Homo-oligomer: A and B are copies of this chain.
Amino acid sequence: MTKTRVGIINVTGYAGVELARLLLNHPGVELTSVTGRSAAGQLLGDFFPHLSDADLTIEANLGEVDIAFSAMPHKESAQAVLPLLENGTRVIDISADFRLRDAGAYPQWYGFEHPAPQWLKKAVLGLPELYREKIRSAQLVACPGCYPTGAILALAPAVKSGLIRPEVIVDSKSGISGAGRSLSLTTHFSEANEDVTAYSLSGHRHLPEITQELALLKPGFSPAITFVPHLIPMTRGILPTAYAPLVAGKLPEGKRGEEELLNIYRDFYRDEPFVRVATSSPHTKYTWGSNYCYVYATIDHRTGRLIAVSALDNLMKGAASQAIQNMNIMLGIPETTGLEAAGIYP
């Protein structure tokens, strides 16, 4: 039997190379083509020595594949995948180019006119916990951003159950790899080490994604979200801490309320292979190098607020491994195939 052929557009960034690592070891597919602008012609295993057994040559253009992953930056990703979509290739896009349903949001948030609004309607958001059924048959899966994955998983059960009011604050902390492999002072070791800062205070591009998805979870829920990301001195990991006023009277008083809240989360994620409801505030270290996301929620009784936290690896559940989870669903193979690895601790 011929294995499904898969390819990666832009294998040379961090999401791209993580896709390669996972796909090279995936029993159900064969990685047959990878592209990279500046590295074209080099062996993948020379460019990335940790993959030195990979004797795939990095190409300028993608060869024929059944499923194409795009790890291109936004705007360029749409340009790269539209021809593939037109010829019927299934596409899993890690960029932001097909995440937002409203084409009008692209000029505002990303500074370009969307080249193919018709595909925004066909695209399915690649968050299996919300869209598993649609992903199965999707031709185009748009994986959510690393920040939205964490924020949505932290808040979805509370929103869905009508527990919170729309005044939501999401304060996220991300490792530096989220800023990619390109060079900038922001990612310079001596600048980022022993430092923390908040950024994008006037509005980060992941805000409309979070808002869109929380709104879709419950008719009539119009979230007014303040989202502030922070860079912290570690390579991997995202920890969003979310705050929202609880709707009065939905949960019992005291400890019993906390228990019921966790039970609502447990019910929501009961059949999810990669979401674990924690019994206390989780650490991103639980998830290092894995597709797992740990979620926790509790009540600030003094103020009547929900505090919800999630922990994940931004390059894995926040990017590459979640893309492969989507691929598994699209292929109808067990969702955990090739993704069984636990987080690496310490």
A residues apposed to B, CB below 8 Å: 14, 17, 21, 24-25, 48-53, 167, 169, 171, 173, 175-177, 181, 183-185, 187-199, 201-203, 224-226, 228, 230, 232-237, 239, 241, 243, 245, 276, 278, 281-290, 292, 294, 298, 300, 302-303, 305, 307, 309, 311, 340-346
With both beta carbons as reference points, the residue of chain B lying nearest to A289 in the complex is identified as: B344
Residues of B within 8 A of A201 (CB): 281, 298, 300, 307, 309
Q: Given A194-B237, A225-B303, A285-B195 in contact, is the A202-B298 Cβ separation under 8 Å?
A: yes
Residues of B within 8 A of A17 (CB): 345
**New A-B pairs, 8, CB < 8 Å, besides A50-B342, A167-B167:** A171-B243, A173-B230, A181-B185, A190-B235, A193-B193, A193-B346, A194-B288, A199-B281
With both beta carbons as reference points, the residue of chain B lying nearest to A230 in the complex is identified as: B173
Q: Given A183-B185, A305-B226 in contact, is the A234-B345 Cβ separation under 8 Å?
A: no
Residues of B within 8 A of A345 (CB): 17, 21, 48, 50
Q: Given A234-B233, A298-B201 in contact, is the A196-B183 Cβ separation under 8 Å?
A: no
**A190/B177 in contact, CB under 8 A:** yes
**A197/B281 in contact, CB under 8 A:** yes
Residues of B within 8 A of A342 (CB): 21, 24-25, 50-51, 53
Nearest first, the 5 closest Cβ-Cβ pairs linking A and B are: A183-B183, A50-B343, A195-B285, A190-B346, A171-B171
Q: Given A195-B234, A196-B237 in contact, is the A25-B341 Cβ separation under 8 Å?
A: yes
Task: Give, as a whole number of angstroms, the nearest-CB distance from A261 to chain B.
Answer: 12
A-B CB contact pairs (8 Å), 14 listed: A21-B344, A50-B292, A169-B171, A173-B230, A176-B190, A181-B185, A183-B183, A194-B237, A195-B237, A195-B283, A197-B281, A198-B281, A198-B309, A202-B298
**A307/B226 in contact, CB under 8 A:** yes
**B239/A196 in contact, CB under 8 A:** yes
Q: Given A233-B234, A342-B21 in contact, is the A195-B52 Cβ separation under 8 Å?
A: no
Bound-state CA distance A230–B239 (Å) is 10
Contact of A203 (CB < 8 Å), options: B225, B237, B302? B302
With both beta carbons as reference points, the residue of chain B lying nearest to A238 in the complex is identified as: B196
Bound-state CA distance A309–B50 (Å) is 16
Bound-state CA distance A193–B235 (Å) is 7
Residues of B within 8 A of A194 (CB): 175, 194, 234-237, 284-285, 288
